[in-house]
Amino acid sequence: MTMKFTILATLLSTAAAFAPTPSNSRVSTSVRAELNGWVPDESKFAFGLPGAIPPFEDGFDPLGLATGTPLSTMKQWREAEVQHGRVAMLAAVGMLVTEEPIEYHPLFEAFNKDIGPAIRHLDEVDAVSPFFLTFLTIAIGSVEWNRALRGFSKPEGEFAFQQLKDNYYPGDVGFDPLNLKPTDADEFATMQTKELQNGRLAMLGAAGMIAQELVNGKEIFVNLGLATDRFDPSSVPIQF
């Protein structure tokens, strides 16, 4: 796989969504406000969830994954898609920023040498400061714990695995330090559609970049011919 092929495939790809299936779409008025103005509608694409863009406004589900899928499962899929898209956007930006020629490492100093492809950076950090991964695991766990408390139902009564609360909108974990979330339902839907499209693109892009670096062990801009390969594997504390 070459980076040119990966980028071309990424730009031409359209993320899959799901066609609506029959389900109970009645939601109380009190819940509607909690769902950011979205009211599940079984007659619309993906129960009316944002995320569809031309030319697939009426649904894109070539594998029929949504056949017989209830609303609760659709919400779980959207929750997973939003969260994975956010992680992928961070990953895609992080890989490009921390590699040659930019090489910005906010957590440690590496200005005096090229430390190689991003897929091995955590290995290098772990070799020098093994407690860092413990701290990172705790940090990620605390974020996921907050998401679970906010969006997931308690395991009691008639409970299904990864069951979301009725008044939880997929992806809305309550983190908005810059107060960017629109109060208008239509504006919110537009913003989430943009987030979903960027997240879908980032998932494809990050996967392509990781695959490329696994193939030949070279950094992204080096593969593109935009940076000089000055990485010396013997200068880092792990085996390449």
Measuring CA to CA, which residue among 14, 7, 5, 10 is closest to residue 204? 10
The Cα 154–Cα 161 span in angstroms is 10
The answer to whether 212 is a known ligand-binding residue is yes
- Looking at residue 220, its amino acid is I
State yes or no: 198 annotated in a binding site. Answer: yes
Q: Tell me the C-alpha distance between 61 and 79, whole Å.
A: 18
- Is residue 32 part of an annotated ligand binding site? no
Rounded to 5°, the CA angle 178-184-185 comes to 110
DSSP string, 188-202: HHHHHHHHHHHHHHH
CA 213 to chain centre: 20
Is 109 a known ligand-binding residue?
no
Q: Which residues, at least 6 apart from 213, have a Cβ–Cβ distance to it below 8 Å?
A: 117, 118, 119, 219, 220
Q: Which segments are annotated as binding site?
A: 81, 84, 86, 194-195, 198, 200, 212
Q: Which segments are annotated as binding site for chlorophyll b?
A: 86
Q: Which segments are annotated as binding site for chlorophyll a?
A: 81, 84, 194-195, 198, 200, 212
